[in-house]
Amino acid sequence: MSALKRLAAALAGSLLASVLTGFAYGLRTTAGLRWELGWRLAGLLAIPGLLLGALWGIAALALTDKLRARLGAFVGERSRPLGALALLAPPLAVLGWGLMVRLGHVFMTAFHHVGLAAMAQGSFFLVVVVLLMSLGSALGIALSRRLPERRVGLLGLGGGLLAAALFAHGLYHGDVHGRGGGVLGGFGVLRKPELDLTPVARLAAVALGGPLLGWALRRWGWALLPLVAAAGGLLRAEALRFADSPVASEIDARPGLPRAVLRTLRRRADRDRDGYAGLFGGGDCDDRAPARSPGATEVPGNGVDEDCSGEDAPAAPPPPPPPPPSVRERLHALVPEGVNVALITVDTLRWDTHYAGRPFPITPRLDRLASEGVVFDHGYAISSYTGRAIGPMMTSRYPTECPRDSEHFTRYPAANVFLAERLRAAGFHTFGAASHFYFEPRFGLAQGMELWDLSAHPSGDRQETEAADSRVTDRVLALLRDPAHAQRRFFLWVHYFDPHKLYVEHPDLPLFGRGERARYDREVMSTDREVGRVVDALDALSAAPGGRPTVLVVTADHGEAFGEHGMGWHGVELWDELVRVPWILRAPGLAPRHVTERRSQIDLVPTLLELLRMEPPPPGAPDAFSGVSLVPDLLGEPAAPRPVYMELPEGPYNSLRRSVIDGGWKLTERGVGRWELYDLTTDPGERTNQAATNPAQLARMRRVLERVRAGLHTVPAPGR
């Protein structure tokens, strides 16, 4: 009977630990959401709590009174050596772990030959293990003669505290790159700002809290009954009401234990196996019809709501008419034939540069360029992450329209037709430079580039800790000085990475303020200097005898957050600070001006082709554009506003997000069927969600989103 009580206590303790962990995490949110978020988290964590409780309970059943007596006798007879083991093993394990991390860091960067690095690393790991075991054995033998008897538990506690102290020392003194702090400094990487360890903390709280609370409840096994009933009630509430929860998107947005549990429950509840469930907020409006789900392709105007949006999509709008002949004639009269094209993309560059309102003079060269070209004051990226933004921008197709895989570093196969491929087929020499490994040809972004220089890529693991933009510029200038490249009509693409985290110090530049934003601004100032070097070289080339003028575009793949919505990174949401980007186009013959209409980078490639007198692919072609030419904007002609659509397809580290902007309103789908509505005219910071208080505007914006999506030609990604 005592074993059954231990089983009941283990289950009850783990359930209680799950519930308390969920509510404790809910306390970190604003007052209005604390109870709701805590309740939801508790309901989801009850599932792993039951599993862990069952495991602890099985262990308790196995530990019969007779076995406990034998173990007690065994420990009693060997209390001194076991006490020495309990005291020494935890700190030595942490020390060995730290050494392995440090050695791994060394060997990953010290050898160019992978096989040699692996052999050297394995050899040194073996030496470390042998030395630590020898040291532990010697110390254990020496201590076992002096330690008090029958104090194994107390000595184990001391060993655990000593191990925790060593770990904390390395965590505190090591930097976020795993350097400094001595042997244990590698633990400093766990302080990386964008590294979210709350899933680990939650699981540890449930796993460790279960036995502790079970021990406290061991005399009251009957406590299991109300806890099981409470867990069942929580689970039922999750199944039926999760989609209506105001915090559902917060749970569904972040990788972690609650989201993993939630997705497991959805898979189990998915009756028609279409990837979406009708319960647990899965969004499936008909869980018996595989053809109807949030992921289904909507057939506009057929009277059926295939994608569970609430209504059938209207018929796809006809494509906007091409500019009238007078506009094209005016363009041809202003912009000469035979121009070169240069595209400069800057990773993680926010829209609010100095010329756009930032009070500090961090972008003098972009400011000058803005005074010479056409500035899109409200330019928007296609997505908030490089892997879903750059490729689609170069194809004028949205991420879900591009053949691709479903990995975080998205690969784009040859079925996509990139801008460089079109220009190369038209006789352009295509070349450029970048410094990030994602731009290696294996990922597909370099399709069409005859010469793609990645020699500025930092070696080893220094991608985010070493400035590389100056080396990228050096490579570009060397290419432009080479007559084999510069004397032909060319397309040049330069991608700068330095403004991306982690921020590298530039002591030669001023620092405006403190904190992450100030360091970011200084990185931007450094990259702005490099942009200026390239612009100067292009201008000199154009002014040289026989030189061609150049159409120059400077923009970014996405922005960056600095706490505006409680986050300090990108790639998981579509807030304006993440998708609004600078966008400058300077072309010979075009007068400087500012375009105030909201425009999307989906239109960049059609605009460039129009400037170059090249025809776009016809509508309906496999490589047809989703964007249109913005030449009327460049000429100052009246141009009708168009909805700006952005999307972030689901990936390993992000949930599905869609946004559309129309008439100053922005609608964002944060999770399946969960809407947020903002008036960007009066609320540019997206602080007041009007989805519940303005149903008429919400209905209008949902129709706008449906019309945009009705015109997409989506391609499923393998594995999604």
- Residues 414-443 have pLDDT tens digits of 999 999 999 999 999 999 999 998 999 999
- Residues 247-294 have pLDDT tens digits of 666 677 666 677 777 777 778 778 888 778 877 777 778 888 888 877
Of the ranges 3-17, 21-35, 254-268, 397-411, which one carries the lowest mean pLDDT score? 21-35
CB 233 within 8 A of CB 37: no
Is residue 102 over pLDDT 80? no
Q: What is the DSSP letter of 338?
A: S
CB 463 within 8 A of CB 454: no
Return the pLDDT at 353: 94
CA quadruple 151, 153, 156, 161: dihedral sign: negative
CA atoms within 13 A on the CB side of 622: 6
Tell me the two tokens of residue 124.
Answer: 């040194």
CB 594 within 8 A of CB 377: yes
Q: How far apart are CA 392 and CA 15, in angstroms?
A: 46
Q: How far apart are CA 633 and CA 164, in angstroms?
A: 62
Phi, psi for 416 (deg, rounded to 5):
-80, 145
Q: What angle do CA 135, 137, 142 make, to 5 degrees?
A: 95
Characterize the bridge pairing of strands 374-380 and 593-600: parallel
Confidence category of residue 712, pLDDT binned at 50, 70, 90: confident
- Residues 608-641 have pLDDT tens digits of 999 999 999 998 898 999 999 999 999 998 878 8
Distances (CA, A) of 712 to 401, 625, 661, 695, 719: 7, 10, 16, 26, 20
Superfamily of domain 325-710: Alkaline Phosphatase, subunit A (3.40.720.10)
Average pLDDT over residues 36-44: 72
Distances (CA, A) of 276 to 281, 283, 288, 408, 522: 9, 7, 11, 22, 45
Return the pLDDT at 1: 46
Evaluate the omega torsion of the peptide bond into residue 502 and state whether it is cis, within 30 degrees of 0. Answer: yes
Return the pLDDT at 440: 92
Distances (CA, A) of 398 to 82, 380, 394, 613, 677: 63, 13, 10, 24, 22
Is residue 573 over pLDDT 50? yes
Model pTM greater than 0.85? no
Q: What is the dihedral of CA 472, 477, 482, 487, to 10 degrees?
A: 110
Query: How many other CB atoms sit within 10 Å of the CB of residue 59?
Result: 13
The domains of the chain are located at 2-216, 325-710
